[in-house]
Amino acid sequence: MRQGLVALVAALVSTGPLAPAARVPTTIAGPAFAQIAADFQSLVKAPSAATVQGFDPALAQALKVSSSQERSECPGLLGGSVRVFSARRLSSNVATVDFGLTVDGCTSRFVGTAVPVNGTWRVSWVTVCMLVEDQGTVCPPAPHGVIATVPLPYSLNARRQLASEPPGLVRPEDMGDGPHGSLLITDVDRDQILQWWPDGRLGVFAGTGQPGFSGDGGPARQARLDPAYEPTVALAPNGSVYIADSGNNRLRIVSPNGTISTVGRYPGISGVAVSASGVVYIATGSAVERLSRTGKATVIACASFRSSSCPPGHSQGLPKGTGFSPSLIAPEGDGAFVVWSDGPRDLFRMTPSGELTDLGPDYIDAMAPAPDGSVLLAEHGTAVGRVVGTHVEHSYISLDKANLAGYATGVCGSFQPDGIAAGRNGTVYVDTFIGNGWTCDNGLVQVGANGKGHELRITTPVLASLPSATNTGFPSNIYPLPRPASGHDLPACPSRQGIEPFTAVVAKKALAVASRFNAFVSSFYGDLRSTDRAWWPNVFSDWVSNYYDNDTHTIVSSGPASKDLFAAAVAHACGEQLVEDSMVVVVGPSAYSSQVSHLYFLDRDGQPLIYFQDQ
C-alpha cells in the first residue's frame, strides 16, 4: 500500500518536458475511455508494449515475480480483474485513471496514469511499477526515453485513509481530561503532550518535541519531556495536570498558568492518579505509592517477593505468590482505585489504605475515571471495558469500525484503543495509532452512551503544531524553515541552507540509515507532510531499538537521485538543482515489511536527512 508523501501527489508534468496542467480536468469518455479500460485490464492478463508505455522484458519479469509474492494486503497481481471507474485528462500528455484491482475476492483501489503513445493512450510505465512494488518487488530502471508521469500513481485506499487521519497525531498514546473541557493526548513519537479542543483546534500543551529533560520553572511548552511508552496524565481538581515523565523517572506538574515543575524523582513511574480530594498516587512497576504535599512517597501496596523494600503488611489481599507489578492506576468514585498489574496482567481494586481485591486477568492499555464513579478500560482489543466496584464488565463499548462514522473502513486492521478519557456527559474518547491492532491510520474518536461514535476533526494545520524553529533547543541549523513547492507534488521543499555535496563519509551514513529504515511504519514520518523538517535526528534510532523493526532492509541500489523513478516529481516540485544535490537509496523488503521505498537524502552540515519517500 502506498503511504507517505507520494499519496499526496496531485500535480502534473508530461512524459517529456514539463507541461502545464489543464485548469479543469476533462473527463474521458467514449472510445478513448474504452481503450484505457482495455489497456488497464491487460495488467492482470498479458500486458505488452501495445498496452503499457515502455513495456520491456525487465518490467514483464518484475510483474511476473511480484504476482507470486502475495505479500501485500491482497494476493498476487495476475489472474484477477480490473475495473476502471473513471479517467480524467489533465493535459495533452497525461490522464489520471481511477481503477480497482480484484484478485481472489480482494479488491484494492488505485489511481494510476495513462499517457499518449503514437496517438493512443497507454498505461504509464510508472503505474505498473506501483503495482509491482506494492507486492515487494523492486521495479527495474525505466527504459531509455521513458520519464515518470506526475501525478505519480497511488493507492486510493491509502489516499482516503491519509485524508481522514487527524493531522498532527503521529503516535497518540495516553489520553486524559484537560483543563476547561479540552483533551490531552500524549504523542510519544513527538515527545509532546498535545491539547485538543472541541472546535477542532490542536495545540501543544507541554514539550518542545525534542526528548530530554529541561524547562522546570518555565512554560511547559518550552520544556523537554521523555514520556516513553504508555505515558499517563491526570487532571487534578484545582486544574493542574500531572505527567508521568517515565523516560526521566520523574513526576511533573503543569500548573493552571502553564508553568511546569518536578514533583519528585520516582524510578519506574508509569502511572499517576489524583483522588477527588487532590491526593496523588503513582504506580512504579513494583508498588503503588501515595505522595505527600511535599512529594514524599509512602508505599501503599506492593509484593514483597518482588521488592525487598516492600514494608510488612503492604500486600493485603494479594494471594500468596501472586505477581503484582502495578503499571496503571485510576480512581473510582468511592475513594478506591483500580490498579492494573503488568506482570501478570491482572486487575485489582485497591482501598486508600492499600488493601487489594483481585478482579481477575485482563490486558489493557489505559484507564480513565468516569463521571459516574466507574473506571473505563482501554482493552487490548477492539472494546472499552468498565469497572464498577468489584465488577468488571468486558466489552462495555464495542469499537467495531462499523460503529465509528468517519473512521477508515478499509481492509486494514481494527480500532485498538491506546488512550481513553471520559467527558462529563458520559461521552467516551479513545485514540489509536498506525500499526496498533494492524490498523492503517491514526484515529481520535468519540463514542456516545448508545455505543455509536464518530471520528473527531482536527482543524489545525500539521505544521502549526510541530516544533517551531524558534523553540528553545530546536536545531534550526539542521532543520531550517522549508520553502514553498511548485505545484502539489510535495507539500514543501527543503531549504537550500547548509546543503553540501555528498562525501563518502556522509554517503556511508545515509546507507546505514536506509538499511534500518522501517518502511512498515514509515507513515509516521510521511504523515508529517513537512519534508526535511519532519523530525529530529534520532528518529531512526528510536524505531530501530524496539520490536517494530527487528530486522534490516536490503539496499537494492544507491546513487544520484537524478537517475531515480521519482526524480521528475521532485524536480518539478523543488527544482532540478535539489535533485542534482541529492542521493537516493532504494531499499527492498525485510523479513518484517514487504514494502519497497525510494529514500531521497540531502546532506546538510554533514547530516544525511530524508526529505522524500515514495512509500
Tell me the three-class secondary structure of 43-108, residue by residue.
HHCCCCCCCECCCCHHHHHHHHHHHCCCCCCCCCCCCCEEEEEEEEEEECCEEEEEEEEEECCEEE
Average pLDDT over residues 504-516: 88
pLDDT at 468 over 70: no
Report residue 584: phi and psi, to 5°: -120, 140
Average pLDDT over residues 219-246: 88
- Rounded to whole angstroms, what are the CA distances from 12 to 29, 87, 412, 568? 21, 15, 30, 10
The pLDDT of residue 206 is: 94
* Residue from 506, 481, 480, 477 nearest 581 by CA: 506
Chain-wide mean pLDDT for the chain? 80
8 Å CB contact between 188 and 173: yes
The pLDDT of residue 289 is: 94
* Residue from 189, 82, 66, 128 nearest 442 by CA: 189
The pLDDT of residue 475 is: 64
pLDDT at 424 over 90: no
The pLDDT of residue 542 is: 39
8 Å CB contact between 205 and 197: no
Residue with the bigger pLDDT between 427 and 530: it is: 427
In percent, the amount of the chain with pLDDT more than 90 equals: 41
* Residue from 374, 376, 422 nearest 395 by CA: 376
Indicate the burial class of 293 (C-beta count within 10 angstroms; 0-12, 13-18, 19 or more).
Answer: exposed
pLDDT tier at 516 (50, 70, 90 boundaries)?
confident
User: 186-196: per-residue pLDDT in tens?
Assistant: 987 778 899 99
The pLDDT of residue 77 is: 67
Average pLDDT over residues 330-357: 92
pLDDT tier at 171 (50, 70, 90 boundaries)?
confident
pLDDT at 376 over 90: yes
pLDDT at 139 over 80: yes
The pLDDT of residue 1 is: 27
Q: Is the peptide bond before 151 cis (omega within 30 degrees of 0)?
A: yes
Residue with the bigger pLDDT between 126 and 474: it is: 126
- Alpha-carbon gap, residue 331 to 166, rounded angstroms: 30
The pLDDT of residue 381 is: 87
The pLDDT of residue 295 is: 94
pLDDT tier at 446 (50, 70, 90 boundaries)?
very high
8 Å CB contact between 21 and 150: no
User: 84-108: per-residue pLDDT in tens?
Assistant: 999 999 888 889 999 988 877 777 7
User: 240-279: per-residue pLDDT in tens?
Assistant: 999 999 989 999 999 999 999 999 999 999 999 999 999 9
Query: How many other CB atoms are there within 10 angstroms of residue 441's CB atom?
Result: 26
- Alpha-carbon gap, residue 237 to 218, rounded angstroms: 22
The pLDDT of residue 78 is: 66
pLDDT at 169 over 60: yes
Query: How many other CB atoms are there within 10 angstroms of residue 198's CB atom?
Result: 12
The pLDDT of residue 34 is: 95
